[in-house]
């Protein structure tokens, strides 16, 4: 069976999804303040590499751990859920099959303990 990475369309598709995802995130006043001082070009590249790896693609991710990356941000469950919802909505808009969206969201939800309240 093909990896989620392959089923979603590979690196270019992941990069396009990340761009669309961040459009939603940056328009959302409940979470956009987390990105006020963020180099979004670097963030998009970083997120593309992370998702590529997390979804079974090649490992080009060299970032810090989820816990370290979100340390001191005091992300609350409602922030995490808003970000996850933006990702699910993006994947839906891109025509990703529901079973694959659910698989992606399952992977993302597993990261919650490393992101929330850090």
Instruction: Note down the domain range covering 75.
Output: 4-115
Q: What is the pLDDT of residues 3-59, one digit of tens each?
A: 888 988 999 999 999 999 999 999 999 999 999 999 999 999 989 988 888 888 998
Total domain count, the chain = 1
Q: Which two tokens stand for residue 20?
A: 């669309």
Task: Indicate the annotated binding residues for heme.
Answer: 46, 70
Q: Name the pTM for this structure.
A: 0.87
Q: Could you give the CA distance from residue 118 to residue 116 in angstroms, rounded to a whole number?
A: 6
Q: Could you give the CA distance from residue 89 to residue 91 in angstroms, rounded to a whole number?
A: 5
Task: Indicate the annotated binding residues.
Answer: 46, 70
CATH code of residue 28: 1.10.490.10
pLDDT of the residue at 59: 82
Q: What is the pLDDT of residues 98-116, one digit of tens each?
A: 999 999 899 889 989 999 9
CB 21 within 8 A of CB 87: yes
Residues 6+ positions from 65 with CB-CB distance below 8 Å: 114
Dihedral sign (CA 81, 84, 90, 91): negative
């Amino acid at each position: 069976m093909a990896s989620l990475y392959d089923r979603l369309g590979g690196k270019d598709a992941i990069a396009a999804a990340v761009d669309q995802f961040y459009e939603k995130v940056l328009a959302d006043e409940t979470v956009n303040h987390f990105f006020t001082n963020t180099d979004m070009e670097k963030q998009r590249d970083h997120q593309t590499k992370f998702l590529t790896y997390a979804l079974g693609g090649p490992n080009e991710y060299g970032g810090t751990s989820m816990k370290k990356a979100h340390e001191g941000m005091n992300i609350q469950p409602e922030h995490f859920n808003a970000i996850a919802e933006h990702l699910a909505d993006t994947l839906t808009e891109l025509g990703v099959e529901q079973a694959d969206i659910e698989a992606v969201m399952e992977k993302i939800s597993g990261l919650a303990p490393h992101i929330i309240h850090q």
